[in-house]
Amino acid sequence: MFAPFRRQLAGFDAVPQLAILGLVSGIVTGLVIVLFRLAIEIPLALMLPGSSSENFEGISTIARLSFPLCGALFIGILLFRLKVHLRKVGVTHVLERLGYHQGHISWRNGVLQFIVGAATVISGQSAGREGPAVHLGATVSSLLGQWAALPNNSIRMLVGCGTAAAISASFNTPLAGIIFAMEVVLMEYTIVGFTPIILAAVSAAVVTQFFYGNEPAFLVPDIAFQSLAELPLILAATLPLALAACVFNQTVLTTSRHFQGPILSRLMLAGLLTGLAGIAFPEIMGVGYDSVNTALLGGYAAPVLLTLGLAKLFVTSISIGLGMPSGIIGPTLFIGACLGGALGMVAQALMPAAASDAGFYALLGMGAMMGAVLQAPLAAIIAIIELTRTSNIMLPTMIIIIVTGLLTRNLFRQKPIFIALLQAQGLDYRFEPLTQALRRISVAAIMERRFIRTKAEHSLEEAHALLKNSPVWILIEDQNGPVSLMPAVDLSRYLELLDEENRGSDDALLSEEIEGTQIEPEPSEHADLQPSAGTDDTEEAQVSIRVNLLKIPAQRRDLAPLHIQATLEEALAVLRASNVEALYVQRTSAPMIKPIIGIVTHTDIVNYYSSK
């Protein structure tokens, strides 16, 4: 049923087909994210005072300590029972699956992410829900592609669609979801990629708004950029925000590098740290968006904002470094809001006539911190504009996010946190232009389907019959499978030469017979010709010529197998790893049955890339 659809998706310009996938991915992801949010909000509303899902400030001191410890114990026992590769969750895991497994994500990791992602927030860990949401969106979209046996280039695009839909559903910011998916996860911008990702983000936002309404994620007051005289204050705020981003990233990496004990003990330590900090600063527990709203509305004094921002920074970064499966995006917004708000109050004290409200700086701090930690400036800019739903602050938003990002990357030499975490595991995510281009195309788009499978040895008549349907390639097989590949034109050229030689040999043999001399036919000079002759009193000499395709002069190629779902990047990797020049493409039609449906050579890949 999906065969024609799959073939159309193999190429680069399958926009209508990708659009359908994006729409389906967005709807499914939106429903999953709604379910994930309900799995967090309903238990918290039952547990916390006032039926609020974020009111950790209202619980007792003992509860503030015991909640994170109990949650860490539950998560630790769950992860301790799993193998290391099954424990991986979050955006980093999504990048790993994209970089090394073409976007194939296991449902087991998705289920685990749902459970531990909800458990971290419910138990009051200093965590965000957006990272788990990205994993869940990518997982359900990847499983959709795997279920339909789509080409790997389409599965990669589906992962991007799921990412965009997850961010869109979490913040009610579809445009920020689109940019986040292309800037942080796929790391490329293509015209073909925009269409399905836009549809995924918009459809997910529609699903979320159906359940939660059209309200933004944060309560942003009416704010505006006062005057150009405020620009020096905004530029001055970039350095401390860049330093905070550097400290956050380095604390995560240093903690993960130096604490390598059993997962249960590490998570219990993270839970203890969160609980102790929560006794003094309960605002940092959970996602903390109520505290972000208070900071945006100017409800905290500068010392409180600074203390909360630093507490959230160190508790979150240490917990993540210890292995707590927490999201990163939400905490960066919290830290940025607190530190930005504190800097805004300092600006008001220095220039009361020119400086804007503290909420203005809190909002700028959110964008700057998110952009610097993730190294995703465009996504941060779009997120702030969508959250405020105004373009009045576009200029200061762009300035503070871009400058903070430049300082973080060039002055403090920081990499994007997700890439840094991958590299800390000995992995990497390649995003060179050539690699990205090859990932977008399936081998089905360029493979040669005009080929014939045959044994090595044939009679002269059988050899001529091989060329009857004008194949491009001849795939030579033995009892164990394919052994070599040769161009059909080489066989055609050889048979023409052989026919010319045979015509000359037949004339000489006829003249000998006229003279009454019986001559035994001599073997041909080619090793592939196996003549045999027999004579009796009544029959003329008979000559039988056998053609061996493995011995005739030809440009034969060694080859290796490749599955039809593979991308050109995978094909090139197999060519290099196997040290061969060609691949025969298989599809799985039934268990243990893998018919060969095409041929791909290194030259085909180079020619296709060069033509595009």
Q: Domain check: are 387 and 498 in the same one?
A: no
Model pTM score: 0.83
DSSP class of 442: B
Output the CA angle 61-62-68, nearest 5 degrees: 100
Domain boundary among 371, 397, 431: 431
Say whether both 60 and 196 belong to one domain: yes
Q: Which residues contact 409 (CB under 8 A, 6 or more apart)?
A: 375, 415
**CB hemisphere CA count around 172 (13 angstroms):** 16
Per-residue burial over 521-551, b = 16 or more CB atoms within 10 Å of its CB, e = otherwise: beebebebbeeeeeeeeeeeeebebebbbee
The pair of three-digit structure tokens given for residue 3, joined into one six-digit string: 């065969």
In this structure, the dihedral spanned by the alpha carbons of residues 475, 478, 481 and 486, taken in order and rounded to 10 degrees, is: -20
CA-based end-to-end distance of the chain: 31
Q: Can you give the pLDDT at residue 506? A: 52
CATH code assigned at 35 = 1.10.3080.10
Claim to verify: residue 342 and residue 361 sit in the same structural domain: yes
86-110 pLDDT, tens digit each:
899 999 999 999 988 889 999 999 9
Using alpha carbons, list the distances in angstroms from residue 580 to 172, 431, 466, 596, 603: 50, 25, 25, 17, 12
Q: How far apart (Å, rounded) are the C-alpha atoms in residues 459 and 471?
A: 19
Sign of CA dihedral 122, 128, 130, 131: negative
Q: Would you state the structure tokens that stand for residue 222, as one six-digit string?
A: 């009416």
Domain boundary among 163, 191, 218: 218
Is residue 480 included in any domain, yes or no? yes
Instruction: Give yes or no: residues 560 and 449 share one domain.
Output: yes
Output the CA torsion 228→233→234→237 (10° steps): 180
Which residues of the chain are modeled with pLDDT < 70? 1-2, 11-12, 430-431, 502-544, 612
Please tell me whether residues 303 and 327 are part of one structural domain: yes
Which residue is listed with tokens 């061969």?
Answer: 580
Q: DSSP assignment of 229-288, as one string?
A: GGHHHHHHHHHHHHHHHHHHHHHHHHHHHH--S-HHHHHHHHHHHHHHHHHH-GGGSBS-
Neighbouring C-beta atoms of residue 7, cutoff 10 Å: 16
Give the other-Cβ count within 10 Å of 69's Cβ. Answer: 19
Q: Domain boundary at 218, 252, 269, which?
A: 218
Asked whether residue 82 is assigned to any structural domain, the reply reads yes
> How far is it, in rounded angstroms, from Cα 585 to Cα 447?
8
In a domain, 519, yes or no: no
33 and 76 fall within a common domain: yes
Paired tokens of 605: 């890949």
Mark whether 385 and 352 lie in a shared domain. yes
Rounded distance between C-alpha atoms, residue 175 and residue 137, angstroms: 16
Distance separating alpha carbons of residues 192 and 321, to the nearest angstrom:
37
- Domains identified in the chain, total number: 3
Q: Looking at the structure, tell me whether residues 78 and 143 fall in a common domain.
A: yes
- pLDDT per position as a tens digit, 538-574: 444 445 678 899 999 999 999 999 999 899 999 999 9
**Domain membership flag for residue 529:** no
Helical (H) or strand (E) element with 86: none
Position 89, amino acid:
V
| C-alpha span between 137 and 91 (Å, rounded) | 11
Query: Are residues 332 and 448 both part of a single domain?
Result: no
Same domain, 255 and 306: yes
Q: Tell whether 421 and 457 lie within a shared domain.
A: no
Instruction: Note the pLDDT of residue 215.
Output: 80
Q: Count of CB atoms within 10 A of residue 224's CB?
A: 12
Write down the pLDDT at residue 504: 64
Q: Is residue 436 part of a domain?
A: no
HSE-up of 101 (CA within 13 Å, CB side)?
14
Q: Is residue 523 part of a domain?
A: no
Which candidate, 251, 282, 3, 269, places its Cα nearest to that of 150?
Answer: 3
CA 290 to chain centre: 32
Q: Which amino acid is at 564?
A: I
Show the domain range for 330. Answer: 228-431
Whether residue 410 is contained in a domain is answered as: yes
